[in-house]
Amino acid sequence: MNENAPRLSTVLLELWPYVWPSRRADLKIRIFISFALLILAKLATIGMPYAFKWATDALTDLAKGVEVSPGLIAGPIAMTVLYGALRVAMVGFTQARDGMFAKVAMNAVRRLALDVFVHLHALPLRFHLERKTGALTRVLERGRNAIETLTRLVMLTGAPTILELALVCGVLYFQFDARYVGIVAVTVVAYLSYTFVATNWRIGIRASMNESDTDANAKAIDSLLNYETVKYFGAEKREAERYDRTMARYEKNSVLSYVSLNVLNFGQALIFTTGMIAMMSLCVTGIKAGRHTVGDFVLLNTMMIQLYQPLNFMGMLYRETKQALIDIAAMFDILRQPNEISDAPDAPALVVSAGAVRFDDVHFAYDPARPILRGLSFEAPAGKTVAIVGPSGAGKSTISRLIFRFYQPQQGRILIDGQDISTVSLESLRASIGMAAQDNVLFNDTIRYNILYGRPEASEEEMRAAAALARIDKFVEVAPGGYDAQVGERGLKLSGGEKQRVAIARTLLKDPSILVLDEATSALDTLTEREIQATLEELPRRGATIVIAHRLSTIVNADEILVMDKGALVERGDHETLLAQGGVYAALWNRQLAEQEGQAQDETPVIPPEEKRDDEELFGASQI
């Protein structure tokens, strides 16, 4: 992260619409009331030293009197009561101001955080593949805190604090003389100058500390999300060392941050104390000369102590503002990230009449130096199943990402019922397509929630029917909690096959016009896979079904099989036709057939592990 904080004016300009909501008159009224309460609090603050002075002068007169009369006693008591009343008023106005402004600040936090969250979902897949989820969440968290800090400190308290300094200087000028104002001016200038220089030094340390904190948090999340992989490779020690190296950098930067804060605080105290001693000494000479009273000495002392509070606040204001600017700028950097995939102005909704999908001379590359698809053209007719096969790296899974418009082809068109998907609204496009992939990530919630994610408004009967079609119902019914069983982080409590069946169930519940299966049954045992395939074939199909497969046995009944190699279509036809050609498909088929025969020879006549786990251990006691 850049150590130089962005300009305050730039960030405030971007933040202003959130702090001053144009359509919320109630919040604007709260802002005005908050300012009024703050001014009243400052006036009460200025009045307290005078009450203290008057009480001191009255007590001095009382000490000189030989006889004590009720009037002499009542004066100091009244001033003492006035001093207490002003202090209570100051605290009351300040607390009322904070309570009044809280809704304004938190509304700004909520709106900006929501905009960033929505924008993160709108950004293309490319952005998320290049970022770490943990780092993004830390940016969002720090940004929320920084907005509240900036709105409270700068937008509400900064300017009135400057006003309080001006009032103090005015009191010193009229109550004493210009020399006192001069001492205050020199003290304030020296104090703020030192604060700004020291704070700029600390900003670099703080930025490094935040960077190491973000890195440590991202590494921790990444390691925990890959918990099973860590266990597979016995890498607990390696992960701990990797995390500790990052935390060591955080420890070093944190220590520097604390030390620099100590240096800053000591310097501030030294400068202010020097100024206060000079002013108090000047007042002592005035008392000796008869120009001032003991009450003036107390007034001056109290005024200087109260002056220290806004001065100390200005130091904190500068420090917190600099850090808040960095954190908020990081959020606005996300908002400024261009969205490569977005709706065209007035983009119409996709109208699916039949559900035919056509690729027309599509060229695509994630990196210009490495083309993935080279002029791909094919059509998946409505009501038909088209399978796409080929060796690894042929570009099969890229096809599903392009259909969903996670990416935009560099050349060519993708059409659904003759409509270019780049010209229709994303919402209507993705609502018309159902997707079940090989790597299915589930939400850390219940099985019910994950299935209903396909169509949240679906009834209980519809949800259970989709589960039955995906062959997950019988297993769930014997699990502790049934459909309300928790699946864990990313579905960690489920096996790969169980996760795939839940994903297939939510896709079937969505009831899409077009169905895309990207290795959707790769983690299932053979029996369950055949049952689900039979179910999918029996379902009434409105649109095309596109199956991206590695195991060729799963697509032998497809209406057409497209064979890809190095991003190009090299063969096409049904299963028997492609075998007869003796080309790429036949070679893939024979290779997989040989592998299956080899595995069959090694098998013993027991229940296969995958089938046994699916039948007996869907949810083990150690899981759900």
Q: Which residues have CB under 8 Å from 404's CB, separation 6+?
A: 429, 430, 433, 435, 516
Q: Give the integer Cα–Cα distance in Å for 209 and 253.
A: 5
Query: What residues in the chain have per-residue pLDDT under 70?
Result: 1-9, 61-74, 122, 124-135, 152, 154-157, 159, 314-315, 338, 340, 439, 490-491, 520-529, 531-532, 534-541, 596-624
Predicted local confidence at residue 606, as pLDDT: 42
- The string of pLDDT tens digits covering residues 53-73 is 888 877 776 666 534 445 445
Token digits for 338?
A: 């261009």
Protein fold of 8-335: ABC transporter transmembrane region fold (1.20.1560)
Token digits for 404?
A: 């969903």
Delimiting residues of CATH 3.40.50.300 domain(s) in the chain: 357-438+513-616
Q: Is 457 helix (H, G, I), strand (E, B) or coil?
A: coil
- As a dihedral over the C-alpha atoms of residue 72, residue 75, residue 78, residue 83, rounded to 10 degrees, the angle is -130
For residue 78, count other CB atoms closer than 10 A to its CB: 14
Predicted local confidence at residue 15, as pLDDT: 74
Predicted local confidence at residue 129, as pLDDT: 59
Q: Give the integer Cα–Cα distance in Å for 455 and 473.
A: 18
- Nearest Cα to Cα of residue 412 among 428, 426, 398: 398
- Nearest Cα to Cα of residue 28 among 80, 103, 91, 79: 103
Delimiting residues of CATH 1.20.1560.10 domain(s) in the chain: 8-335
Predicted local confidence at residue 6, as pLDDT: 59
Q: Give the integer Cα–Cα distance in Å for 465 and 20.
A: 50
CATH classification for the domain delimited by 357-438+513-616, as one of 1.20.58.220, 3.40.50.300, 3.40.47.10, 3.40.30.10: 3.40.50.300
Whose structure tokens read 């501030």?
268
Q: Give the integer Cα–Cα distance in Å for 416 and 515.
A: 13
Report whether 624 contacts 486 (CB < 8 A): yes
Give CA separation, 144 vs 94, 318, 520, in Å: 23, 19, 39
The helix-helix angle for 496-510 and 526-538 (nearest 10°) equals 10
Instruction: Look up residue 539 and give its DSSP letter.
Output: S
Helix (H) or strand (E) holding 568: strand 568-573
Report whether 575 contacts 561 (CB < 8 A): yes
Predicted local confidence at residue 13, as pLDDT: 76
Query: Which long-range contacts link 616-620 to residues 24+ away (Cβ below 8 Å)?
Result: 618/475, 618/476, 618/478, 618/479, 618/494, 618/495, 618/498, 619/475, 619/479, 619/480, 619/485, 619/493
Predicted local confidence at residue 522, as pLDDT: 60
